[in-house]
Structures are given as structure tokens and as C-alpha cells.
Structure 1
Amino acid sequence: MSGLPSRFLYVCLNFLVLYFQLQEAHQSSADFRFYIENHTRDDVSRKQVRIYQLYSRTTGKHVQILGKKINANGDDGGKYALLVVETESFGSQVRIKGKESGYYICMNRNGKIVGKPNGSNPECVFVEEFLENNYTALMSAKYKGWYLGFNRKGRPKKGSRTTQTQQEVHFMKRDPKGKVDPQEEFRFTTVTKRTRRARRLRPNPKTN
């Protein structure tokens, strides 16, 4: 009979441990769902902002936003060639704004490239397409198959006259002039046991 109470206590303790584990798991799951719900509803946290230049393959210069007028004749490091690119964290849709002018690159229903002060219009959204030749093409999110492009004189081409294979729609992202890529600021060296041993055996010149 003495073994019955101890066995009963053992079973009760197991039930208590299991109960607390289930409560903790339920609370963690609820907190996680709450975080995801808030995160997906927060429009600010879902956006990434980058600053770079767009090098045009046809002109050898950079896209610049002067206001309503946009061309591909900007100099490297020019203030109108600095672009603020707003990217959705889910997907490859971007809005491109001139850092100096504050105007966005947009494409209207006629395929004309214009600058607008408000980038919330769907005509100001482009889809990044990464090409095999390491260039990037920007297709209108609203008008499928129409691309941002410039002719040899740097003037915008109508979207209806562009295709992905044309050099006029090929661009390369470049950091602003004078900016160092953060990855290039670090130098990584593989250290092995043999390297550490060689360092220990290296003679100290001060002792000679």
C-alpha cells in the first residue's frame, strides 16, 4: 500500500509537467501568429530603401530624374543620378525616386516615361528582371511587356516599342561615386591549424 501514494504522486507530476509544456507551446504559437499578423500589416517594415545609380548600356551614362523629365545622360556621381529605390521585401517590385528632385519614374498608358511627385500610382511600379548578361531590366508592373528604356541619345523610349532583348532596356546597378561596398571593407583569411602552428614557430626578431 505504501507504493500506491508515491505512484499516484509520480503520475500527477507527469500530468503537471505535460500541462505546463502545452501551455507554453500554445502561448509561443499565439505570440508568433500575432507577430506575423502585425508584420504583414505594417507597410513600413515591409519596404527596403536603397540608394544607387542605374547605368544605361546604350548611353554609357546614368539615368537621371530632373523632375517631369527623365533621361539617361547623367554623370557618375551627379546629384540627379542618385536614385532612391523602394523595394517590397516580398517580391521584386520597385519604385524609383530621384534623391534630388523627389520625382518618381512612371510609365503612362501611352508608354511614355514621365516623372511624377507621387509614387503611389500603379504606373510608377516596376518589376526587376535579372538577365543572364548581368544586366537588369525594369518592366512596368501595370503594362506587362513594356520596359523602361532609353535610346542612344538618352531619350526615353515608349514602352510599347521595347522588348527585354533590346540593349536600350538593359541597366546595371552602381553604388554612388565614392561609396565603398561594405563587403570590400573586410578581408577574410582562412586560418587553419597549420597556419596557427607556423605563426607560433615564427622567430621573434626582437630576440635576435
Structure 2
Amino acid sequence: MPFFPSRFICVCLHFLVLYFQLQESQQRLADFRLYIENHTRHPEDLSRKQIRIYQLYSRTTGRHVQVLGKKVNANGEDGGQYAVLVVETETFGSHVRIKGMETDHYICMNRNGKIIGKRNGRSQECVFVEEFLENNYTALLSVKYKGWYLGFNRKGRPKKGSRTAQTQQEAHFMKRPPGGTAELPEDFRFTPVTKRTRRAQRLKASSGTH
């Protein structure tokens, strides 16, 4: 008979140990979540960011993304003051916030898919994910609106996010130094093809056959 109480006490002690281990595990998890929040809650804290400065060359226009206050387009000149971008990369992940150095406005995408410049870049609408493509270009995917990319048409005007895709040239960019002195590799040069260009190519090909 004394065996039963002893076994019961051992079982109780065993469950008690498991209970305290579970409590300790939950506390560690809570501490870790608090640590993550403290490192991601304040986007203005530059000590927790990697800061880069560069230009974004647009594959569509052959020019650069520029931030003109609330307006954003891809008609910036190489080395232009509005084409110099400050890119803030969070220490956790590849999420970036991009703002114009001259105007101090962030590139953001609203719920309608429209690209606009905002003074305050804390919103998730101003966060993009860098996607590195096989053709050596970079695409910028909206964090808040899945499947929507930063993109510009041939006139340099922003495209609606809902009309973009990673495979479109309108959403392809290349990072360049801000000095305006670096030459583009041949693979990245923007060469507009016109009717005159095609006619000249045909004449050149026909003359070479004689």
C-alpha cells in the first residue's frame, strides 16, 4: 500500500517539472518576440539599418527613377540630383525603403496601386522586397500588396501595381553608382528601335551581300 502514494508523488513531481519547463520555454519565446519587435518597430532608427546610396536605372526608359516630392517617374538623368536614392535595408530580411536624397520623400504604393512620394516612410506601403533576377536586373515587390511591383511605362510614368509582373521589362531596374560616371555594360544598354533603325539595318545587311 505505501507504494501507491510514492508513485503518485513521483508522477506529480514529473508533471510539475514539465510545467516549469513549459513556462520557461514560453517566457523565452516572449522575450525573443519582444527582441524582434524592438528591432523592427522603429524604422527611423538608423543604427538598425544598412544605408545604401545609388541610382535605379530603368530598363524601359533607359533613364533613372527620380523622386520629385510627391511625384515619382523614371525620366531622371544619369547623375541628376533627383535620381540619387537613399535605400534603407532592414537588418532582418531584404525589405527596403527607398527615398529621394534631394526631396526626402519615400517611394510608396497606395491601395490603388499608384506610385507616390511620401514624407513619412513608416507605412508598409513604402516597403519593397528586392528580387534579383536571372538577367541581372532587380525587381521591387510591394510588401503590403502581394504580386504588385514598382514599374514605369516607356514614357517614364508609374504603372499601377495591379498591371505589373516580375517578367515585365517595366519592372526591371539596375543599381548604379550615384556619381553619373559609370558606364553601363553592353547587356544593359537601352537601345530604342525605330523604323529608321530597322531600315538602316536592312540596307546594311543588303549591301553586305553584294
| 1:96 paired to 2:93 | no
Deviations 1:75-129 (A, max 9, x none): 0100000000000122110000000001100000000001110000110000110
Distance 1:70 1:165, change over 3 A: same
**Separation of aligned partners in 2, 1:174 and 1:73:** 15
Distance 1:38 1:147, change over 3 A: closer
Which residue among 121, 124, 145 is the counterpart of 1:122?
Answer: 124
> For residues 68-83 of structure 1, what are the structure 2 equivalents within 5 Å?
68-83=70-85
Distance 1:124 1:38, change over 3 A: closer
Letter in 2 for 1:49: I
**Separation of aligned partners in 1, 2:145 and 2:57:** 23
Residue equivalent to 1:166: 168
Rg comparison, structure with higher value: 1
Deviations 1:126-154 (A, max 9, x none): 01100000000001000000000000000
Question: TM-score, with normalisation over the residues of structure 1?
Answer: 0.66
Q: For 2:148, what is the secondary structure of its paired residue?
A: coil
Give the gaps of 5 or more residues in structure 1. Answer: 1-36, 181-208
Given that residues 78 and 180 in structure 2 are in contact (C-alpha distance below 8 angstroms), is that contact kept between their aligned partners in structure 1? Answer: no
Residue equivalent to 1:58: 60
Distance 1:55 1:121, change over 3 A: same
**Separation of aligned partners in 1, 2:85 and 2:167:** 24
Question: TM-score, with normalisation over the residues of structure 2?
Answer: 0.65
Deviations 1:142-175 (A, max 9, x none): 0000000000000000000000000000000001
Given that residues 113 and 156 in structure 1 are in contact (C-alpha distance below 8 angstroms), is that contact kept between their aligned partners in structure 2? Answer: yes
Residue equivalent to 2:159: 157
Residue equivalent to 1:176: 178
**Separation of aligned partners in 1, 2:88 and 2:163:** 26
**Separation of aligned partners in 2, 1:61 and 1:100:** 18
Query: What is the Cα deviation at residue 46 of structure 1?
Result: 2.4
Deviations 1:2-58 (A, max 9, x none): xxxxxxxxxxxxxxxxxxxxxxxxxxxxxxxxxxx9798355332111110000000
Deviations 1:167-189 (A, max 9, x none): 00000000112578xxxxxxxxx
| Paired residues, number | 145
| 1:41 paired to 2:38 | yes
Give the gaps of 5 or more residues in structure 2. Answer: 1-33, 183-210
Letter in 2 for 1:90: F
**Separation of aligned partners in 1, 2:69 and 2:151:** 17
- TM-align CA RMSD: 2.0
Q: For 1:111, what is the secondary structure of its paired residue?
A: coil
Q: For 1:156, what is the secondary structure of its paired residue?
A: coil
Given that residues 93 and 127 in structure 1 are in contact (C-alpha distance below 8 angstroms), is that contact kept between their aligned partners in structure 2? Answer: yes
Given that residues 40 and 46 in structure 1 are in contact (C-alpha distance below 8 angstroms), is that contact kept between their aligned partners in structure 2? Answer: no
